[in-house]
Amino acid sequence: MNFTPTEDQLAVQRTAHEFAQNEVLPKAAEIDREHRHPAELVKRMAELGFLGIAVPDQYGGAGLDNVSYALAMEEISRACASTGVIMSVNNSLVCDPIYRFGTEQQKQEWLAPLASGKLLGCFALSEPEAGSDAAAQKTVAEKQSDGSWVINGTKNWITNGPVADACVLFTMNDKSLGHKGITAFILPMKTKGVRTGPPDDKLGIRGSKSSQIYLDEVRLPADAVLGEVGGGFRVAMSTLDGGRIGIAAQALGIARAALEDALAYAQQRRTMGKPIIQHQAISFKLADMATEIDAARLLIHRAAWLKDNKLPYGKEAAMAKLFASDVANRAAREAIQIFGGNGYVTEFPVERHFRDAKITEIYEGTSEIQRLVIAGYLAKGG
Ligand SMILES: Cc1cc2nc3c(=O)[nH]c(=O)nc-3n(C[C@H](O)[C@H](O)[C@H](O)COP(=O)(O)OP(=O)(O)OC[C@H]3O[C@@H](n4cnc5c(N)ncnc54)[C@H](O)[C@@H]3O)c2cc1C
């Protein structure tokens, strides 16, 4: 077992840390307060190669690995979870499936500009009545006699939706086949008939723009299909396996922010004649937070390492997300407790961590769904 990061991984971590500390963190409170999409930070992440970290350089990516991706996600989400999820969606949910399932032409046309950050992507699987039950797709794709497609439907909660240039879109093309009737497409967001709703007004990650996407008689050519006709569910599920590594790393970043902020506060805040860190009740909270954060990181790096080594990693990614999102929520809650009254007001950052942490238990599969996935592997003897 080797826990030593490579030189390349350390270099990514260092770059991400400096970027996060110097450029992202100073803006995080304002991004949250103003519900602002941080376009200038997205541009900087493109320059730093953070929008296609594990994509080979021949397709515009940084040509690195998933451990590097997890390290960068942790650093950036430690500073701003909104900026973290924008990065995660583009890497995990857009570049990754186009790299794995796209034709050479699709890779040249879409992957290269998305991975280099010239374009930004979104991933549209969820619908008003298809969240956890992702196979219940109601967006319909009808094949025309000339091989092209006409698509109608509504997608829900689509992160980056209002600011994206391209979308990995899931549709039902044959309801009688159940999940085998689902087909994925690459959809240019400027296509006639595509409209986004107003940005969702959210509890946390307020700088991440998400919205509904309405598809009204949207026409796509035959070569817009991603993967095989009827193979969309496999594209979606295998993509979410990888996405969970990114969201777990986002949760880890939020947990670390909660710990680091609480630790600094506990060292300077005094009650009963001493810094509160010298009260065992407070120091034990910090000890638990630090221990759980380390355990989450190990689970995440194991899943990323398995993916990098082309070994099965679905169960491990689900475990990493389940655990890290739980840790983030607990750490943020305890950080507020350590800050006392100051934890409850927007002047200090921990209430933002508390609000940001919650989403990591919901998107890319709720915690209940992660347990279903893990239990499914256990039942199969995996
Ligand atoms: C801010 C935000 C951003 C998002 N971004 C995206 C995106 O970019 N792309 C995208 O496609 N989707 C996105 N989503 C959607 C997200 O993935 C779904 O909200 C999530 O999968 C849950 O689906 P749901 O909201 O329909 O809840 P439901 O599926 O209705 O679940 C409701 C509750 O029931 C539980 N539940 C459901 N089924 C079961 C079961 N079988 N066993 C046990 N418990 C169950 C759930 O865990 C949950 O607690 C986003 C959501 C949010 C809030």
Residue 177: per-residue pLDDT: 96
**What mean pLDDT do residues 179-198 have?**
98
Counting atoms of ligand 1 from 1, which one is nearest the CA of 367? 47
Q: What is the pLDDT of residue 367?
A: 98
At the top level of CATH, the class of 234-379 is mainly alpha
Ligand 1: residue of 126, 169, 326 to mutate (most ligand atoms within 8 A of CB) is: 126
What are the pocket residues of ligand 1 if the criterion is a CB atom closer than 6 Å to any ligand atom?
A: 89, 122-126, 131-133, 157-159, 202, 210, 359, 362-366, 368-369, 372
Instruction: Please give the Cα distance from 336 to 2 (Å, whole number).
Output: 36
Question: In 366-377, which positions are buried (b, 16+ CB within 10 angstroms) versus exposed (e)?
Answer: ebebbeebbeee
Rounded percentage of the chain residues whose pLDDT exceeds 70 = 100
CA of 360 to the centre of ligand 1 (A): 11
The answer, as to whether pTM is greater than 0.95, is: yes
pLDDT band of residue 53 (cuts 50, 70, 90) is very high
Q: Answer whether residue 341 shows pLDDT above 90.
A: yes
Average pLDDT score over the chain: 98
Strand partners of residue 160: none
Does 66 score more than 80 pLDDT? yes
Q: What is the mean pLDDT of residues 366-370?
A: 98
- pLDDT score for 2: 83
Q: What is the mean pLDDT of residues 127-154?
A: 97
Q: Do domains 7-115 and 121-230 have the same CATH topology?
A: no
Contact 206, 32 (CB under 8 A): yes
Query: How confident is residue 331, by pLDDT bands cut at 50, 70 and 90?
Result: very high
Question: What separation in Å is there between the alpha carbon of 112 and the centre of ligand 1?
Answer: 30
- Is the model's pLDDT at 25 over the cut of 80? yes
Q: Is the pLDDT reported for residue 382 higher than 90?
A: no
Token pair listed for 56: 């080979």
Alpha helical stretches, state H, the chain? 7-19, 25-34, 39-48, 66-79, 81-88, 96-101, 104-106, 112-115, 232-268, 280-308, 314-339, 350-358, 367-379
Domain 121-230 is classified in which CATH homologous superfamily? Butyryl-CoA Dehydrogenase, subunit A, domain 2 (2.40.110.10)
Q: Which two tokens stand for residue 325?
A: 């999102």
pLDDT of residue 91: 98
Give the Å distance between the CA of 102 and the centre of ligand 1. 27
pLDDT at 1 over 80: no
Which CATH class for the 7-115 domain? mainly alpha
Q: Which residues are catalytic?
A: 364
Q: Where are the domains of the chain?
A: 7-115, 121-230, 234-379
Instruction: Find the 56 Cα to ligand 1 centroid distance in Å.
Output: 31
Nearest CA to ligand 1 atom 26: 131
Q: Using one digit for the tens of pLDDT, what is the confidence trace for 226-272?
A: 999 999 999 999 999 999 999 999 999 999 999 999 999 999 999 99
* pLDDT tens per residue, range 270-316: 999 999 999 999 999 999 999 999 999 999 999 999 999 999 999 99
Please report, rounded to a whole number, the percentage of residues in the chain having pLDDT higher than 90: 99
DSSP 111-178: IHHHHTTSS-EEEE--BTTBSSSTT----EEEE-TTS-EEEEEEEEEEETGGG-SEEEEEEES-GGGG
Digit-coded pLDDT (tens) for 95-115:
999 999 999 999 999 999 999
C-alpha dist (Å) from residue 137 to 132, 140, 145, 233: 11, 8, 23, 10
Pocket test for ligand 1, best of 366, 368, 372, 374 (most atoms within 8 A of CB): 366
Q: What is the mean pLDDT of residues 309-328?
A: 98
What distance in Å separates the CA atoms of residue 273 and residue 341, rounded to the nearest whole number?
19
Find the 98 Cα to ligand 1 centroid distance in Å.
23
